[in-house]
Every structure is written in C-alpha cells, then in structure tokens.
Structure 1
Amino acid sequence: MQFKLAPILLGTIGAVSLAVPARAAGFNLMQGVNLTPQQKAEIARINQQSEAELESILTPQQQSLYKAYKEHPTNRSDRQAFWASFTPQQKAELRADYQAIKLKINPLYTPEQQKQMNHNLQVLVSELKAENKLPKTFHLGFWQPVTRINPQKPSQLEVINQTNVPLQYGLTTDSPKTLLPGYVTEMKYISLPSNVLIYPSHQEASLKYNVSKIGNTTIVKVRQIASDTPGDGSLAINRTGAVYVY
C-alpha cells in the first residue's frame, strides 16, 4: 500500500490537512510551477522515502480505513473515520514527519516557484471563501507561527486544561505528566528548540489550543472540540522563538 499524501509531500508551501474538502484535495497547487528534471527526481526520492515512514505508523485496521478513504476520497465519513482512528501520539508523529518532509523539500524550490505556489493557495482559499466551503478542518499551512517569544530570554510555558478530561503533557524528551480538568501547570526554563505534546489521557478526544503570551511565557489554553474534527496534538518553539501548533 502506498500512503500517498500528495498535497503534503509535493505542495509543502501550500499543504493542506488530511481532512480537506474534496475540491481542495483535487486543486493543483503546483499549477504554473515548472520543476526541473533534477527537482522532480529529488522530490520523487523524498516522496518514496517519506511514504514508507508514514506507512509504518499505521495499524492493520488503519490501513483498511485508509484503503476505504483512498477508494472514496470525496466521502466525508471515510476521511473522518480514518483521521479519528489516530491516537494523539500518532497524530503528533504524523505532524512531526510532515514538518521533516517540508524541511527537506522546501529548499529545493526557487523563490519564484515558492511565490507561485503561495499564489495558487491564495486563489484556492479565495474561491472556497466565496463559496462558503472553507471548514474548520482546513489548515492554511499549519506551520505558520501563532505567536513569538524572545529566544534570548528565559522562556516558560503555561498549560491550562479547560476540558473535562485529564490531559497528558510534557516535552517529547521527557516522560509525560497528568494535568487534571480545570488545573494549570507551568513548565519553566524551556530550552529552544522545544517540542511539547498535549493530548487526552484516557479517551479519544480532539483538542484545540488557544495560544497567547504574556512577557516571555507562552500560554496554552486547551479546550475540547467535536471528536470527528482533527485537532491539535503538539506545540513547537523553534530557535528563533516562533511558536507553532500542529
């Protein structure tokens, strides 16, 4: 089975999530982008390598769900069933793989090619907005920073559990801790870059992060959204202080 996420693997400047509407999934983000034979060959190599890595995280049941989704890509229930089958850890791993793929492929494009892809994405978003077909599950490139902190100063992260379920949280390099509903925790003196996982402890639930900052403290208010909606699973702060939600 080939785990082909073409919008992610090829259109990384204007990538969309697994739950994009059918029209967005079929939109040619590479229109007018003239790739050289060398670019095509290198992208194909990264594509093939990434497909194997992405496929390795799927269980046999998820492979069956993906097969159904692939056979009926416009079926909303198949898309939702496939995405809902992912554990918070798998979602975080998939998004981390996505980020790694982007970092490999984006440098291959020239500034002119990147400009054309951004233009194509803006055209798509404008059309979807005009037709009122831009759902919550559409992500306009989820690598865009939600806020920024000063990387030259000590940084903290405050997590507020506004859900009704216990959450697991922590740096990807540490063992996770539990944050009960209604409670607040603070992670002090975070070194950059850092990756933080925040996900439900005992049940499948979709989360939404509301991220802000006070001083050099990043504040993450976590709330629960509809379970059939792909939610947030991790937060990353890079060396420049840009804060990203995945």
Structure 2
Amino acid sequence: MFNSRPLTTSLTLLAMAFVGLTSIASTARVEAQDPPATTYQPGFWQPIGRFDPKRPVKVKLVNETDLALDYDITNLESFPPTVVAPGESAMLENFGNNAYIMVYPDNATPSTPEQSFVLKFTVPVDARTQMVGEDNVAVITVTKGDVNIENRFYGHRSINLQPTGAIFFY
C-alpha cells in the first residue's frame, strides 16, 4: 500500500518555503531616515598622511624655526639624539617602517609667557591619495606656533610612522 504522508509533508514544507520567500521578495524596501555613516571623522586619530610600507621610507625633517631642534628615534638604540640647526634639514633613513621620532627645542626655555611657543608639524601629501612624495620621503616641516593665539593646540612633540603606512603627529 502507498503511504502518502511523506509526500504530503514534503509538499507542505515546500509550500511554506514558497510563501515565506514570496513574502520576503515582495516586502517593500524601507530607506533609512538618516544618511549612512561616513568612514572619515576629522580628528587627531586620523593619519595626516601615508607612505608605502612595502618600500623603505625616509623622513626629511625641515627646521623652519629660529631654534635648534633635537630629534631622536625612540625605538632605535643605535640612533643617537641629533640636532638640526635653524633653517637646516636632516634626512632620517634606514629605520624600517615603524618609528616614533621625538622633536623638541634644544635648550629653549621661555622666560616669560609671551615667549612661549609650540611646535607645529606639516607634511605635504597628495590630496587624492594622502600619500607622501614619489620617493616615499615624508618631508616634515617644523614651525613655531604662538601658545597665546593657538590656545586649543598644544603643540607637536612626536612623529609616529606605523607599519601600516600611516603617519601621525602627536
């Protein structure tokens, strides 16, 4: 004798699946009220530039202040602290693609609040790609900023090059 129960069960399951899929397919599309989130949010946590981590990176430190600046790569014991004179530049290389470069005035202690200043770093990058120059050289220019005018800016003290190719100023 033929047992129709498995066939009935299979047809019932198939009908339920069809109804479920039909209701999903015919559901009206609802748009979000707010636009989707963007991935870029301005702030100190964003890299100010990038270099190609697959190639050797170099840093050209340009001192546009009227003071001698000390600089040091903190994670390399073989790199001694060095001074770059006012108006001069220094090329840092052969340190890999991961470095913390500290920059600070050489023996510059202001005697009055009016003489206080902060260091400001800038690096030119391609506006579209945020990449440094074609030779993978990050040209970082150091200038003086006025503490009294720029009271929300505390000044830079270090350059951070990360293994991902990101460049940060702190």
CA RMSD of aligned residues (A): 2.2
**Alignment check: 8 A CA contact 2:97 2:161 kept:** yes
Residue of structure 2 in register with 1:177 after alignment:
82
The one-letter amino acid of 1:235's match is I
Unaligned runs of 5+ in 2: 1-35, 110-116, 125-131
Map 1:1-246 to 2 at 5 A: 140-173=42-75, 174-204=79-109, 205-212=117-124, 213-215=132-134, 216-228=136-148, 229=151, 230-246=154-170
Q: Hey, which of these two has a bigger chunk of strand by percent? A: 2
Residue of structure 1 in register with 2:114 after alignment:
none
Deviation at 1:192, TM superposition (A): 2.2
CA distance in structure 2 between the aligned counterparts of 1:149 and 1:244, rounded to whole angstroms: 11
- Normalised to the residue count of structure 2, the TM-score between the two structures is 0.60
Structure 1 segments (4+ residues) deviating >4 Å? none
**Alignment check: 8 A CA contact 1:143 1:245 kept:** no
Percent of matched pairs sharing the same residue: 27
Tell me the alpha carbon deviations over residues 147-199 of structure 1, each in whole angstroms, 9 at most, x when there is no partner. Answer: 11100001100000000011011201343211110001101123122111111
Tell me the alpha carbon deviations over residues 14-69 of structure 1, each in whole angstroms, 9 at most, x when there is no partner. Answer: xxxxxxxxxxxxxxxxxxxxxxxxxxxxxxxxxxxxxxxxxxxxxxxxxxxxxxxx
Deviation at 1:206, TM superposition (A): 0.7
The one-letter amino acid of 2:169's match is V
The one-letter amino acid of 1:172's match is T
Unaligned runs of 5+ in 1: 1-114, 123-139
**Alignment check: 8 A CA contact 2:121 2:142 kept:** yes
CA distance in structure 2 between the aligned counterparts of 1:234 and 1:141, rounded to whole angstroms: 16
CA distance in structure 2 between the aligned counterparts of 1:159 and 1:225, rounded to whole angstroms: 17
**Alignment check: 8 A CA contact 2:98 2:161 kept:** yes
Deviation at 1:222, TM superposition (A): 0.4
**Alignment check: 8 A CA contact 2:69 2:106 kept:** yes
Q: Hey, which of these two has a bigger chunk of helix by percent? A: 1
**Alignment check: 8 A CA contact 2:56 2:97 kept:** no
Q: Look up the SS of the partner of 1:214 in the other structure.
A: coil
The one of the two structures with greater contact order (alpha-carbon pairs below 8 A, sep at least 6) is: 2
